[in-house]
Structure 1
Amino acid sequence: MATVESPLLSIGAFARRTRLSPKALRLYDRLGLLAPDHVDEATGYRWYRDDQVERARLVALLRRLDMPLERIGRVLELQGERAAREVADYWAAVEARTARQRSLAAHLRDRLSGRRPRMYDINIREVGEQTVLTERRHLLADDLPMWISAALGRLEAAAAACGDTAGPAFVLYHAEVSEESDGPAEACVPVADRAAAEKYAAAHSREVSLRHEPAHRLAYTRLTKAQVVHPQITSAFDAVERWTSDEGLTVTGPCREVYFADWCAAGPEDEVCDVAFPVK
């Protein structure tokens, strides 16, 4: 039995079926997202098949997520779970960006209104002595996140050859890191086997250093992943530093960020980092 083909829809009829404007349909055609089935050579009229309606509606829904057209193209090329995973990855990035922007907006409100930074829950804990592998770098604030991730990754890989890590990784700030000031910052990973770490550092002295961190007390506040963003993270440092002064404590070393959670697996509202000062 012969297959009966559905009649073609004019661009106007197709626009009404899909709730997309003719202008949008022309744009999606130009970008390769939704080409008409047929274009009349004489008139330039575009004609679409009925079975293209679902694809067009999918494009419209993805645009309602503010998904860039280039990424919509990637979704359309995928099927089933792979397409769903692409949408999930996109939305996770949107939520992470929104959480960062929410934190930044709060920081800017406090800064512009002259109010003190919002309250932080500040505590003190004891930290035992540690042997740490380190990398030190002069860099500006924009370069800091990528360097921290890469440096801690290298140091944790090195620690695997030295009896594994012996505590959370941390980053010291020996001087201000901002848009104008380049630190330096120092990435640190505690190691379990000091003798093995000494051998490793001696063999890789151009890449890493080894030093001893004495036991100390830390005044700290705990931050979510969304809060670990410059410049709003500076309000947490300011709050801890002000608290130590109010409590009559003395800062005894460089401020630091202590990363106690899996950064990649954490969501925007998960606690991942302590902003801290060593005190006595």
Structure 2
Amino acid sequence: MTEDAVVDVPDRDLLTIGAFAARARLSAKALRLYDRLELLSPAHVDEATGYRYYRAGQVERARLVAMLRQLDMPLARIAEVVGAGDGPTAAELLGTYWADVEARVAGQRTLAEYLRGRLSGRSSEMYQRFAIETVDVPEQVVITEKRHTLADELPAWIGASLGRLEAAARECGGVSGVPYVAYHAEVSMESDGPAEACVPVADEAAARAWAERHARAWETAVRVEPAQRLAYTRITKAQVAHPQILAAFEAVEEWMAAEGLTQAGLCRELYFADWEAAGAEDPVCDVAFPVSSR
């Protein structure tokens, strides 16, 4: 006899898995999966036979779990939604999840358009949107914080790390230049850099004392950056988002090649504006490469 067969039900209010599956318009296989994932447990399991029994009142929860899985919602978030029951809390949890999905899809759509441009040979057209200039930067002392991070964690880490360093700069004579993030290697969903947040400060001795005190909490350091020339393009807050920022980096690299310049240091993003106060079209960042003549 199978679990789906008609058996003596231990409680007249209980349904066999087959009867419950029919009411919920789901398969018994799906219900067993939901039980295994701890999303929908039977009301009773016969100790002797292992048969599962459900109450009619569980039908709506079963259907809700099935529909949420169709949204590709992670299991942990499904548990949060169904655990909240019907009402504004569950609706808010679903709304938050779907906003995240739409943001991710929007980013993927932008990336697809960017890649279409590259693959179709329209890269030069994209790069022409960026004005490239050079600037000479004097020698400066920087306090730094380095971290291996993937692309999805990078924006939050940049904001947090630059915030910590700017606060620390008060102990080091104050901020004396534009904060920036330097990349020791590629940061993507497969490559974790590392990236290094850097804030120029006025007092080298105080900076070294600060770094020594905080070395255990964060991967901090102090160094003297030599005077250098940067090739850069200025971008808006909207353009900082991935993958738009990739086009900015590539535009500077193409310009450097055309001008006969070579990269002489780590590529970087210099954040010169108040990020929170800036609008989407406000300039906030310079994408830059240290350069030298060949």
Q: Alpha carbons of 1:94 and 1:129: their partners in 2 closer, same or farther (altered >3 Å)?
A: farther
Match 1:105 to one of 98, 112, 115: 112
d(CA) in 2 for partners of 1:57 and 1:138?
44
**Partner residue of 2:199?**
189
Residue aligned with 2:65, SS: helix
Find the residue that maps to 2:242 and give its secondary structure.
helix
Give the drift of 1:201: 0.5
1:17 counterpart residue number: 23
How far apart, CA to CA, are the structure 2 residues paired with 1:69 and 1:140? 25
Structure 2: 5+ residue stretches without partners: 1-10, 213-219
State whether structure 2 residue 284 is matched by structure 1 residue 275. no
Q: C-alpha distance in 1, partners of 2:22/2:283? A: 48
Query: Alpha-carbon deviation of 1:100?
Result: 4.0
CA positional deviation for 1:129? 7.4
Q: Report Cα offsets for 1:214-269 as digits up to 9, x if no partner.
A: 897843344242327xxxx54431213334666x6978965321345659x99x99
2:5 match: none
Equivalent residue in structure 2 for 1:31, among 24, 32, 37? 37
Q: Deviations over 1:132-186 (max 9, x none)?
A: 633276979779938756643542331354576577631235x764799998864
In structure 2, distance between residues paired with 1:81 and 1:271: 39
Q: CA deviation at 1:25?
A: 1.0
Which shifted more, 33-42 or 134-143?
134-143
Quick check: 2:269–2:287 contact (8 Å CA) kept in 1?
Answer: yes
Percent identical across equivalent pairs?
A: 51
Three-state SS of the structure 2 residue aligned to 1:275 is: strand
Name the CA shift for 1:211/1:55 in 2 (closer, same or farther; >3 Å): same
Which of 216, 234, 257 is 1:220 aligned to? 234
Q: Structure 1 unaligned runs (5+)?
A: none
Mapped to 1, the partners of 2:39 and 2:194 lie a distance apart of: 48
Judged with a 3 Å threshold, the aligned counterparts in structure 2 of structure 1 residues 163 and 59 are, in CA distance, closer, same or farther, namely farther
Alpha-carbon contact 2:235-2:283 (below 8 Å) kept: no
For 1:272 and 1:13, the matched residues in 2 are separated by 61
Q: TM-score, normalised by structure 2?
A: 0.62
1:8 aligns with 2:8: no
State the alpha-carbon separation in 1 of the partners of residues 99 and 58 from structure 2: 29
How far apart are the structure 2 equivalents of 1:123 and 1:6?
76
Give the Cα–Cα distance (whole angstroms) in 2 for the partners of residues 70 and 150 of structure 1: 27
> Cα–Cα, structure 1 residues 9 and 256, in superposed 2: closer, same or farther, change >3 Å?
same
The answer to whether the 8 Å contact 1:96/1:226 transfers is no
Structure 2 counterpart of 1:170, from 165, 171, 180: 180
Equivalent-residue separation in structure 2 for 1:277 and 1:97 (angstroms): 29
CA distance in 2: counterparts of 1:86 and 1:269, whole angstroms = 31
Q: How far did residue 210 of structure 1 move?
A: 5.8
Compute the displacement of 1:66 (Å): 0.4
- Determine if the alignment matches structure 1 residue 202 to structure 2 residue 208: yes
Q: Is the Cα–Cα contact under 8 Å of residues 225 and 270 in structure 1 kept in the other structure?
A: no
- RMSD, matched Cα: 5.0
Q: Give the direction of change, closer, same or farther, for the CA distance of 1:144–1:86 in structure 2 (3 Å limit).
A: closer
